[in-house]
Amino acid sequence: MTGVEGIRFDESGLVPVVTQDAATGEVLTLAYANREAVESTLHYGEAFYYSRSRAELWRKGASSGNTQKVVEVRLDCDADALLYKVEPRGPACHTGETSCFFTTVAGESVGVSTGEAPGEESPGAMIDRLAATIARRAQERPEESYTAKLLGRGTGRVAQKVGEEAVEVVVAALQGEELAEESADLVYHLLVLLEERGVGLEAVAGVLRDRHR
């Protein structure tokens, strides 16, 4: 274990920071930090970086609300790169994607076949992306958004919708029809309820991990 004094900052006073979702292990972004950013991160338990384009200290989520609670900070073997393990609140990327690394670079032997059909993604990635979209709707509240309107009606109504959708899943299972469709509706409304109550997917994943170790 070491302190900030053990970090080898470059000639510009910066160190690269890889940010990783503490629950899923997904790499979220690559940024830079100066000494002040690292000290602020360690002090407040929130991710701070240094914006090279704006030449200023940058608290992740200060304007977007997509903050990152830092669980652990690690230093690599050469002491010239950091790893932030975080619990993200919303997407890490300014595009609205969960991770900044959403573009595949393909070559002759790399990135040619992912095992998924074109345009498809894993169930976990889909749920992460849906949760990020819901979080964005909660922040922006566009008038035409069903999600925003539902969130605006409060916990009681959102919880009621989850109950209604759960009943429809049971009916679909008993009738043997449209179970996937009704399950999708239930998952969506459950994600809306989690957002409304401020419970992130990482918290749910943490409970599941603890129960199935």
16-29 pLDDT tens trace? 999 999 988 889 99
In a shared domain, residues 75 and 129: no
- The residue out of 35, 67, 88 marking a domain boundary is 88
- pLDDT at position 71: 95
What does the block give as tokens for 119? Answer: 């345009």
Can you give the CATH number for the domain in which 65 is found?
3.10.20.810
Q: Which pLDDT value is given to residue 110?
A: 67
Distances (CA, A) of 180 to 147, 176, 184, 188: 21, 10, 6, 12
pLDDT at 105: 79
The total number of structural domains in the chain stands at 2
- Does residue 84 share a domain with residue 10? yes
Identify the domain boundary among 88, 115, 137.
88
Residue 19 lies in a domain: yes
Task: Count the Cβ atoms, other than its own, within 10 Å of residue 122.
Answer: 11
Residue 194 lies in a domain: yes
The phi, psi pair for 25, rounded to 5°, reads: 85, 0
14 and 57 inside one domain = yes
Strand partners, 75: 82
Residues 127 and 84 in one domain: no
Q: What is the pLDDT of residues 59-76, one digit of tens each?
A: 999 888 899 999 999 999
Residue 130 and residue 205 in one domain: yes
Report if residue 79 sits inside a domain.
yes
Task: For residue 117, tell me if it sits in a domain.
Answer: no
Determine the pLDDT at residue 111.
58
Cα–Cα nearest to 45, from 91, 86, 99, 90: 86
Same domain, 75 and 130: no
**pLDDT given at position 113:** 47
| Residue ranges in the chain whose pLDDT is less than 70 | 108-121, 213
Are both 131 and 205 inside the same structural domain?
yes
Out of 88, 112, 133, a domain closes at: 88
Q: What CATH number did the domain enclosing 138 receive?
A: 1.10.287.1080
Q: Which domain holds residue 71?
A: 4-88
pLDDT for residue 165: 96
Give the model's pLDDT for residue 109: 66
Instruction: State the DSSP string of 151-167.
Output: HTTHHHHHHHHHHHHHH
Percent of all residues in the chain with a pLDDT value above 90, rounded to a whole number: 59
pTM (whole model) above 0.95 = no
Assess if residue 13 is contained within a domain: yes
